[in-house]
């Protein structure tokens, strides 16, 4: 990564504002997936062990600038405390006199977590005064929130105008891993792309067609490609307004001689329900009263055989409605196949919340080269877009000038 990181800075005794991505799923006050919290630990521990005063900040959900008790960060603080083996103090707000008093009491090696940044509308608005107020709390800014790096918010971009800004260890790892897909990836490079809709992944598909030798499509978005070929898919999700785009993507794949693989059979059901009766049919034989809920066994076998040749694999998006176990086998099989490619020395990168949840659920996360916490940020990175939170970081080798020392 061509940016200064926390390794390059003497943080002893410094107040370090760490923007993490602790936006984890919470159900009735219980965290259902702590992947992002655990991914943030290396940076937090590194700074604490080196004598920094860590001011940790994150958003949670979409409170739209208003306090929402269901989106308070208390469950995150509790889980972080368990993982660190020490209490994690919290503030009642992201800013204010009480926050300043709490921070003034901290000593080197201490940690405090600010309340949900998005309880303040100024955060997403990237308000300059709010950004400056956040910056006034610290001597150094660390961005470790790759999942929010594609947003120019006060805590990801605005704050960098007031403090020296460096990368955390997770940010560094994310950028380095995803860069491997853009700069001469080992070939064959195959991508597995799923999820519900084509419309949200047009740009990443176009970017992948410029780099991949094969793109394997699953999930609801495969239905739109199949419909563009003239197939009737019963009650399945199909984006009728995206048929022209699907045709264009398929034509582009042919022109670039990229193999675009679509399902040949499907698991179907009358409704999305845990007790729904399923059957397997060819994709051109979906009854009018049924819907596609997963790729079928023949498709799984074909995709697995094709991936067996890959030296680089990028996977984003499930192959079906994987949240329901009887519709999850396509997604689970892709996870197992890609894990085997890692064992065969291929570079395997998994991105997107649902794909990450699948590999985590199967205990295969550590069998992948890299599991991204980025979601939308990872897709925009692969599309070649500039990420404000990354661009704002100091370049590698830059001199660090602490503002409070200069005052």
- Is residue 29 among the annotated active site residues? no
d(CA 348, CA 371): 8
At 403 the pLDDT is 75
pLDDT band per the 50, 70, 90 thresholds, residue 407: very low
- Is residue 376 among the annotated active site residues? yes
d(CA 219, CA 144): 31
Q: Could you give the C-alpha distances from 323 to 158, 270, 274, 276, in angstroms and in order?
A: 37, 17, 10, 14
- Is residue 288 among the annotated active site residues? no
d(CA 183, CA 194): 23
- Which residue in 14, 15, 19, 36 is the catalytic one? 36
- Is residue 79 among the annotated active site residues? no
Give the pLDDT confidence of 202-253 residue by residue, as tens digits: 999 999 999 999 999 999 999 999 999 999 999 999 999 999 999 999 999 9
Q: Could you give the C-alpha distances from 303 to 158, 214, 217, 260, in angstroms and in order?
A: 44, 10, 9, 11
Contacts of residue 274, Cβ cutoff 8 Å, sequence gap at least 6: 324, 325, 326
- Which residue in 89, 180, 197, 340 is the catalytic one? 197
- Which residue in 51, 109, 234, 376 is the catalytic one? 376
Q: Is residue 190 classed as helix, strand or coil in its secondary structure?
A: strand
| Signed CA dihedral, 13, 60, 220, 279: sign only | positive
Domains (range + CATH), the chain: 6-172+387-406 (3.40.50.1260), 187-345 (3.40.50.1260)
At 26 the pLDDT is 92
In this structure, are residues 114 and 96 in contact, taking their beta carbons and an 8 Å threshold?
no
CA angle centred on 47, ends 1 and 403, rounded to 5°? 80
- Which residue in 158, 353, 374, 375 is the catalytic one? 353
Looking at residue 5, the DSSP 8-state letter turns out to be: B
At 389 the pLDDT is 94
pLDDT band per the 50, 70, 90 thresholds, residue 111: very high
d(CA 351, CA 357): 10
On the question of pLDDT at 405 being above 60, the answer is: no
In this structure, are residues 50 and 11 in contact, taking their beta carbons and an 8 Å threshold?
yes
In this structure, are residues 387 and 365 in contact, taking their beta carbons and an 8 Å threshold?
no
């Amino acid at each position: 990564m061509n940016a200064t990181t926390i390794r390059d800075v003497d943080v002893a005794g410094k107040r370090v504002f760490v923007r993490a991505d602790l936006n984890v799923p919470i159900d009735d006050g219980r965290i259902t997936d702590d992947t992002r919290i655990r991914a943030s630990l290396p940076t937090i521990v590194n700074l604490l062990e080196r004598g920094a005063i860590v001011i940790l900040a994150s958003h949670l959900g979409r409170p739209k600038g208003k306090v929402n008790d269901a989106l308070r960060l208390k469950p995150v603080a509790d889980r972080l405390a368990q993982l660190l083996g020490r209490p994690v103090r919290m503030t009642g707000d992201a800013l204010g006199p009480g926050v300043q008093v709490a921070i003034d009491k901290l000593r080197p090696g201490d940690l405090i977590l600010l309340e949900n940044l998005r309880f303040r509308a100024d955060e997403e608005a990237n308000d300059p005064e709010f950004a400056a107020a956040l910056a006034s709390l610290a001597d150094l800014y660390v961005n470790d929130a790759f999942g929010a790096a594609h947003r120019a918010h006060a805590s990801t971009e605005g704050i960098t105008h007031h403090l020296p800004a460096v990368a955390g260890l997770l940010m560094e790892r994310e950028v380095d891993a995803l860069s491997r897909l853009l700069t001469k990836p080992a070939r064959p490079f195959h991508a597995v792309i799923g999820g519900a809709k084509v419309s949200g992944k047009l740009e990443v598909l176009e970017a992948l067609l410029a780099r991949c030798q094969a793109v394997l499509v699953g999930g609801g978005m495969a239905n739109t490609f199949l419909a563009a070929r003239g197939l009737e898919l019963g009650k399945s999700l199909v984006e009728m307004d995206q048929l022209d785009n699907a045709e264009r993507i398929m034509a582009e794949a042919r022109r670039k001689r990229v193999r675009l693989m679509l399902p040949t059979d499907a698991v179907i059901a009358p409704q999305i329900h845990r007790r729904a009766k399923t059957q397997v049919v060819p994709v051109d034989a979906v009854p009018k009263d049924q819907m596609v809920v997963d790729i079928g066994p023949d498709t799984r076998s074909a995709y697995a055989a094709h991936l067996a040749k890959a030296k680089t694999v990028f996977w984003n998006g499930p192959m079906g409605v994987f949240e329901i176990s009887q519709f999850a086998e396509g997604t689970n099989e892709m996870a197992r196949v890609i894990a085997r490619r890692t064992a065969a020395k291929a570079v395997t990168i998994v991105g997107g919340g649902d794909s990450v949840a699948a590999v985590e659920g199967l205990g295969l996360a550590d069998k992948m080269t890299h599991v991204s916490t980025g979601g939308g940020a990872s897709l925009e990175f692969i599309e070649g877009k500039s990420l404000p939170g990354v661009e704002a970081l100091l370049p590698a080798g830059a001199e660090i000038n602490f503002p409070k020392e200069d005052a």
